[in-house]
Amino acid sequence: MKSKIIVVLALLGSTALAVANPVQQIHMEWLNIIALAAHQTNYSGTFVHQYGNRLETSNISHIFDQGGERTKLVNQDGSKCEVTSNNSAEWCYPGDKVGQAEQAHDRKAFPVLLPEQLSTLGENYQIHTGETARIAGFDTQVLELRPRDSLRYAHKMWVHIDSGLLLKAAVLSDRQEVVEQYTFIQLKVNSSTKPTKTPLSGISKTTAQPKLPLAQKIVAVADESAWKVDGIPAGFKKIAEIHRFMRGKKNVATQMVFSDGLVGISIFIETRSSNPDSALGLSSQGAIHIYSKLNSDYLVTVVGEVPPSTVLQVANSVRNRGLLSN
């Protein structure tokens, strides 16, 4: 019930969108509802994740209360691995209970999409609301985001009509082939917040601090970029450029992040000497592709939820401004 009210508030609250077309505006509101629901709904369930030739089942529990947001993920296949997140921090507990820490860097406190992000999204994707469908016993609205070029993937989403949760989502190639998808096979949406009775009760709001030092420390936000990237597809805007330490490496890496409102492309640039045994080439996990290449004295790595040709195009276009002017 609470989530329904939030949904209505979200519909009423964000009328100042920079989208002229009323139909398109309704589509955009769906995206806001999805973003909000993923943060603020209490739920637990089981989903199946499929990519390439892999198929994996996991359990998820999610709580949102005064203490913020907590999520617990436990895989059901293979050796046990538990991932818990408390607001922006994330811990992984493999079978041997060694805590591995990952400090996420939350960009904003409120999960609703900024109007700026929504308008960027609207420029890059055509949004369609399709039929309704039944997923895991719940009624869903099908939403399709079709890219305006072949440099990004299409996304199909099945949104739970009552809560706004994404019960199923698929990433599609330009040939309409499924690159990656997940679907809930069982789900319980809780209307009230009672953390003590949920599977999350084991996670206190002050989960033990990570045992390992935070390796991925952000050193500084870059003032002016020393790099030029012409191959970024139209519609992607730079949202961050930072200097940071990568795990187990001594030298600072530069990370640039570009967004098209829905997905992102990160470019990492490190000195070659600090990465003597880096993996070069293209690697994939579902819809995420990583491409590493040597660019004179630098190692360039591009990561993004975009097709392989896009990460290749981006990596091949990275140039040092200093070298260009010489």
Partner 1 sequence: MKQNISALMDGELFDEDSEVVLNKLKRNPEAHAEWQVYHLISDALRQPDHVRPDISTSMRERLRDEPIVFAPAVQQKKARWYAVSAAASVMAITLMAWLSLQADSKIQFQVATTQNTMHPASFSAADNLDDYLSAHREFSPSKDVLRMTSHVRTVTRQQTNRIDK
Q: Does 289 bind partner 1 (CB under 8 A)?
A: yes
List 25, 178, 288, 320, residue binding partner 1 (CB under 8 A):
288
Asked if residues 139 and 132 have their Cβ atoms less than 8 Å apart, the reply is yes
CA 203 to chain centroid: 23
From 35, 154, 300, 318, residue interacting with partner 1 (rule: CB under 8 A): 35
Which of 3-11, 90-98, 188-196, 318-326 is the region at the interface with partner 1 (rule: CB under 8 A)?
90-98
Site for partner 1 in 117-156 (CB under 8 A): 117, 121, 155
User: CB-based contacts of 13: which residues, under 8 Å, 6+ apart?
Assistant: 112
By the rule CB under 8 A, 17 interacts with partner 1 = no
Residue 146 or 293 having the CB closest to partner 1: 293
Minimum gap (Å) between residue 55 Cβ and partner 1:
10
Which candidate, 66, 63, 68, 61, places its Cα nearest to that of 83?
61
- Which region among 4-12, 68-76, 201-209, 221-229 touches partner 1 (by CB under 8 A)? 68-76
Question: Is 302 within 8 Å of 315 (Cβ atoms)?
Answer: yes
* Interaction of residue 63 with partner 1, rule CB under 8 A: no
Asked if residue 188 binds partner 1 (CB under 8 A), the reply is no
Question: Which token pair is 86?
Answer: 């408390």
Give the x-and-dash track for 211-230 against partner 1 (CB under 8 A): ----xx--------------
Contact call for residue 204 and partner 1 (CB under 8 A): no
Is there a contact between 150 and 307 (Cβ–Cβ < 8 Å)? Answer: yes
Closer to partner 1 at the Cβ: 14 or 58? 58
Q: What is the DSSP letter of 278?
A: P
* Cβ-based burial of 151 (10 A; exposed 0-12, middle 13-18, buried ≥19): buried
- Token pair for 223: 């003032």
What is d(CA 121, CA 24) in angstroms, rounded to the nearest whole number? 11
Look-up: residue for tokens 């805007």?
237
- 89 lines the binding site for partner 1 (CB under 8 A): no
Selected binder of partner 1 within 11, 73, 89, 142 (CB under 8 A): 73
- In whole angstroms, what is the distance from residue 136 CA to residue 190 CA? 15
Which residues are registered as beta bridge partners of 315? Answer: none
Residue 42 in the binding site for partner 1 (CB under 8 A): no
**Region of 12-20, 89-97, 190-198, 220-228 interacting with partner 1 (CB under 8 A):** 89-97
- Residue window 235-264: x/- pattern of binding to partner 1, with contact defined by CB under 8 A: ----xx---x-xxx------x-x-xxxxxx
Q: Which of 226, 280, 321, 323 binds partner 1 (CB under 8 A)?
A: 280
Decide: is 283 part of the binding site for partner 1 (CB under 8 A).
yes
For the chain, the distance separating the N- and C-terminal CA atoms, rounded to the nearest angstrom, is 63
Among 15, 79, 192, 206, binds partner 1 (CB under 8 A): 79
Total Cβ atoms within 10 A of residue 40:
20
Nearer to partner 1, 226 or 239 (CB): 239
- Is 300 a binding residue for partner 1 by CB under 8 A? The answer is no
Rule CB under 8 A: choose which of 10, 83, 135, 203 binds partner 1: 83
> Which residues are within 8 A (CB) of 200 and not within 5 positions of it... i.e. 6 or more apart?
44, 61, 62, 63, 70, 72
Nearest Cα to Cα of residue 61 among 82, 31, 33, 78: 82
| DSSP track, 145-164 | EEESSTTS-EEEEEEETTT-
User: How near is the Cβ of 253 to partner 1 at its closest, in Å?
Assistant: 8
Q: Does 176 bind partner 1 (CB under 8 A)?
A: no
Give yes or no for residue 284 binding partner 1 (CB under 8 A).
yes
